[in-house]
Amino acid sequence: MSEPQETCEKAQALWEERSDDIRGDAVVAQALERLEEALATLREKMRAARMDRICRVCGEHNDGGCCGASVARQVDPWLLLAGRLLGTHATPMHDDPTTCCFLGPDGCVLALKPFICVQYDCREMIASVDPGRLAAVQQARDELLDAWVVVESRLRELCREDR
Ligand code: SF4
Protein backbone atom coordinates (compact mmCIF):
# COMPACT_ATOMS: atom_id res chain seq x y z
CA MET A 1 0.00 0.00 0.00
CA SER A 2 1.31 3.47 -0.85
CA GLU A 3 2.17 5.98 1.87
CA PRO A 4 -0.67 8.38 0.88
CA GLN A 5 -3.10 5.45 0.87
CA GLU A 6 -1.97 4.53 4.40
CA THR A 7 -2.46 8.15 5.47
CA CYS A 8 -6.00 8.10 4.06
CA GLU A 9 -6.77 4.88 5.91
CA LYS A 10 -5.43 6.29 9.17
CA ALA A 11 -7.59 9.42 8.71
CA GLN A 12 -10.61 7.24 7.94
CA ALA A 13 -10.05 5.15 11.08
CA LEU A 14 -9.78 8.31 13.21
CA TRP A 15 -12.89 9.71 11.58
CA GLU A 16 -14.87 6.54 12.33
CA GLU A 17 -13.65 6.49 15.91
CA ARG A 18 -13.68 10.17 16.86
CA SER A 19 -15.88 12.15 14.47
CA ASP A 20 -18.70 12.57 17.02
CA ASP A 21 -16.28 14.11 19.55
CA ILE A 22 -14.64 16.24 16.86
CA ARG A 23 -17.88 17.52 15.39
CA GLY A 24 -19.32 18.29 18.81
CA ASP A 25 -16.28 20.20 20.03
CA ALA A 26 -16.70 23.96 20.50
CA VAL A 27 -12.96 24.71 20.07
CA VAL A 28 -12.89 22.89 16.73
CA ALA A 29 -16.08 24.63 15.60
CA GLN A 30 -14.68 28.09 16.36
CA ALA A 31 -11.25 27.37 14.90
CA LEU A 32 -12.82 25.88 11.80
CA GLU A 33 -14.85 29.02 11.22
CA ARG A 34 -11.65 31.07 11.25
CA LEU A 35 -10.01 28.53 8.96
CA GLU A 36 -12.85 28.72 6.43
CA GLU A 37 -12.66 32.51 6.42
CA ALA A 38 -8.90 32.35 5.90
CA LEU A 39 -9.35 29.87 3.03
CA ALA A 40 -11.95 32.09 1.38
CA THR A 41 -9.71 35.14 1.71
CA LEU A 42 -6.73 33.27 0.28
CA ARG A 43 -8.80 32.06 -2.69
CA GLU A 44 -10.02 35.60 -3.33
CA LYS A 45 -6.49 37.10 -3.15
CA MET A 46 -5.11 34.37 -5.43
CA ARG A 47 -7.88 34.97 -7.95
CA ALA A 48 -7.24 38.72 -7.83
CA ALA A 49 -3.56 38.02 -8.54
CA ARG A 50 -4.59 35.58 -11.32
CA MET A 51 -2.45 32.90 -9.67
CA ASP A 52 -5.13 30.21 -10.06
CA ARG A 53 -5.06 30.76 -13.82
CA ILE A 54 -1.25 30.61 -14.00
CA CYS A 55 -1.31 27.27 -12.10
CA ARG A 56 -4.06 25.84 -14.28
CA VAL A 57 -2.38 26.73 -17.56
CA CYS A 58 1.00 25.45 -16.32
CA GLY A 59 -0.56 22.18 -15.08
CA GLU A 60 -2.25 21.60 -18.43
CA HIS A 61 1.00 22.01 -20.33
CA ASN A 62 3.47 20.43 -17.92
CA ASP A 63 1.94 17.15 -16.72
CA GLY A 64 0.48 18.56 -13.51
CA GLY A 65 2.99 21.41 -13.11
CA CYS A 66 4.66 21.45 -9.70
CA CYS A 67 2.32 18.79 -8.23
CA GLY A 68 4.98 16.07 -8.12
CA ALA A 69 4.39 12.59 -6.71
CA SER A 70 6.60 13.08 -3.65
CA VAL A 71 4.48 15.98 -2.36
CA ALA A 72 1.64 13.57 -1.57
CA ARG A 73 3.75 12.32 1.34
CA GLN A 74 3.33 15.74 3.00
CA VAL A 75 -0.40 15.09 3.36
CA ASP A 76 -1.11 13.95 6.91
CA PRO A 77 -4.23 12.59 8.64
CA TRP A 78 -4.92 15.97 10.30
CA LEU A 79 -5.27 17.73 6.95
CA LEU A 80 -7.60 14.96 5.78
CA LEU A 81 -9.65 15.04 8.99
CA ALA A 82 -10.07 18.81 8.75
CA GLY A 83 -11.01 18.30 5.11
CA ARG A 84 -13.77 15.93 6.24
CA LEU A 85 -15.07 18.64 8.56
CA LEU A 86 -15.11 20.99 5.58
CA GLY A 87 -17.15 18.44 3.62
CA THR A 88 -14.44 16.85 1.48
CA HIS A 89 -13.57 13.16 1.61
CA ALA A 90 -10.38 13.09 -0.46
CA THR A 91 -8.72 9.86 -1.53
CA PRO A 92 -5.90 9.17 -4.02
CA MET A 93 -7.09 9.83 -7.56
CA HIS A 94 -4.58 7.74 -9.52
CA ASP A 95 -1.37 5.74 -9.22
CA ASP A 96 0.67 7.58 -11.84
CA PRO A 97 4.15 7.67 -10.25
CA THR A 98 5.03 11.06 -11.73
CA THR A 99 2.34 13.30 -10.26
CA CYS A 100 0.80 13.80 -6.83
CA CYS A 101 -2.00 11.28 -6.30
CA PHE A 102 -4.29 14.05 -4.98
CA LEU A 103 -4.25 15.81 -8.33
CA GLY A 104 -7.59 15.17 -10.02
CA PRO A 105 -8.79 16.22 -13.48
CA ASP A 106 -9.92 19.59 -12.11
CA GLY A 107 -6.93 20.22 -9.86
CA CYS A 108 -6.11 19.36 -6.27
CA VAL A 109 -8.91 17.44 -4.54
CA LEU A 110 -7.88 18.41 -1.01
CA ALA A 111 -9.88 21.00 0.93
CA LEU A 112 -6.66 21.76 2.80
CA LYS A 113 -3.34 21.33 1.09
CA PRO A 114 0.01 20.77 2.78
CA PHE A 115 1.76 24.08 3.46
CA ILE A 116 4.50 23.33 0.98
CA CYS A 117 1.77 23.60 -1.69
CA VAL A 118 0.13 26.67 -0.20
CA GLN A 119 3.41 28.55 0.17
CA TYR A 120 5.15 27.68 -3.05
CA ASP A 121 5.62 30.38 -5.68
CA CYS A 122 7.41 29.24 -8.82
CA ARG A 123 9.62 31.57 -10.88
CA GLU A 124 6.82 32.18 -13.37
CA MET A 125 4.55 33.26 -10.53
CA ILE A 126 7.08 35.62 -9.00
CA ALA A 127 7.91 37.11 -12.39
CA SER A 128 4.35 37.68 -13.52
CA VAL A 129 2.35 38.61 -10.40
CA ASP A 130 2.18 42.17 -9.17
CA PRO A 131 4.31 42.38 -5.97
CA GLY A 132 1.53 44.12 -4.04
CA ARG A 133 -0.91 41.35 -4.88
CA LEU A 134 1.69 38.72 -4.03
CA ALA A 135 2.17 40.38 -0.62
CA ALA A 136 -1.61 40.27 -0.05
CA VAL A 137 -1.58 36.56 -0.90
CA GLN A 138 1.27 36.00 1.55
CA GLN A 139 -0.65 37.78 4.30
CA ALA A 140 -3.65 35.52 3.62
CA ARG A 141 -1.37 32.47 3.74
CA ASP A 142 -0.01 33.55 7.13
CA GLU A 143 -3.54 33.91 8.49
CA LEU A 144 -4.43 30.47 7.12
CA LEU A 145 -1.39 28.95 8.80
CA ASP A 146 -2.26 30.59 12.14
CA ALA A 147 -5.83 29.30 11.89
CA TRP A 148 -4.60 25.85 10.88
CA VAL A 149 -2.27 25.52 13.89
CA VAL A 150 -5.25 25.89 16.24
CA VAL A 151 -7.37 23.34 14.35
CA GLU A 152 -4.55 20.81 14.09
CA SER A 153 -3.56 21.03 17.72
CA ARG A 154 -7.17 20.52 18.87
CA LEU A 155 -7.65 17.58 16.50
CA ARG A 156 -4.49 15.97 17.88
CA GLU A 157 -5.76 16.47 21.40
CA LEU A 158 -9.18 14.97 20.64
CA CYS A 159 -7.61 11.98 18.90
CA ARG A 160 -5.09 11.13 21.61
CA GLU A 161 -5.09 7.42 22.29
CA ASP A 162 -5.45 7.85 26.06
CA ARG A 163 -8.68 9.86 25.82
S1 SF4 B 1 -1.58 21.06 -4.49
FE2 SF4 B 1 -2.67 19.14 -4.06
S3 SF4 B 1 -2.34 17.92 -5.93
FE4 SF4 B 1 -0.77 19.53 -5.93
S5 SF4 B 1 1.02 18.65 -4.89
FE6 SF4 B 1 -0.17 19.73 -3.34
S7 SF4 B 1 -1.48 18.13 -2.47
FE8 SF4 B 1 -0.75 17.35 -4.41
What lies within 8 Å, CB to CB, of 100 at 6+ separation is 64, 67, 68, 69, 71, 72, 108
CB 107 within 8 A of CB 59: yes
The answer, yes or no, to whether residue 115 has pLDDT greater than 70, is yes
**Ligand 1 atom index nearest CA of 75:** 7
pLDDT per residue as tens digits for the range 30-86: 999 999 999 999 999 999 999 988 888 887 787 767 899 999 999 999 999 999 999
**Ligand 1 atom index nearest CA of 113:** 7
pTM score of the predicted model: 0.92
DSSP state letter for 68: B
What is residue 117's predicted lDDT score, i.e. its pLDDT?
94
Ligand 1 pocket member 67 (CB < 6 A): yes
Ligand 1 pocket member 112 (CB < 6 A): no
E strands, 23-128, are 103-104, 107-108
The answer, yes or no, to whether residue 112 has pLDDT greater than 90, is yes
Q: Is 137 a domain residue?
A: yes
The answer, yes or no, to whether residue 162 has pLDDT greater than 80, is no
Q: Is 27 a domain residue?
A: yes
Report angle CA 103, 81, 134 to the nearest 5 degrees.
Answer: 55
Taking the centre of ligand 1 as the mean of its atom positions, its distance from the CA of residue 77, in whole angstroms, is 15
What lies within 8 Å, CB to CB, of 86 at 6+ separation is 32, 35, 36, 111, 112
Q: Is 80 a domain residue?
A: yes
pLDDT per residue as tens digits for the range 1-21: 779 999 999 999 999 999 999
What is residue 2's predicted lDDT score, i.e. its pLDDT?
77
Ligand 1 pocket member 113 (CB < 6 A): yes
Could you list the residue range(s) of the whole structural domain that residue 119 is in?
A: 3-158
What is residue 54's predicted lDDT score, i.e. its pLDDT?
87
Q: Is 125 a domain residue?
A: yes
Q: Is 116 a domain residue?
A: yes
What is residue 131's predicted lDDT score, i.e. its pLDDT?
95
Other C-beta atoms closer than 10 Å to the C-beta of 50 total 14
Q: Is 11 a domain residue?
A: yes
CA 136 to chain centre: 19
Ligand 1 pocket member 79 (CB < 6 A): no
Ligand 1 pocket member 42 (CB < 6 A): no
Higher-confidence residue of 141 and 57: namely: 141
Distance CA 151, CA 146 (A): 9
What is residue 142's predicted lDDT score, i.e. its pLDDT?
97
Average pLDDT estimate for 98-108: 91
Determine what percent of the chain is predicted with pLDDT higher than 70: 99
Domain count of the chain?
1
Q: Is 163 a domain residue?
A: no
Q: Is 93 a domain residue?
A: yes
CB 35 within 8 A of CB 141: no
Ligand 1 pocket member 90 (CB < 6 A): no
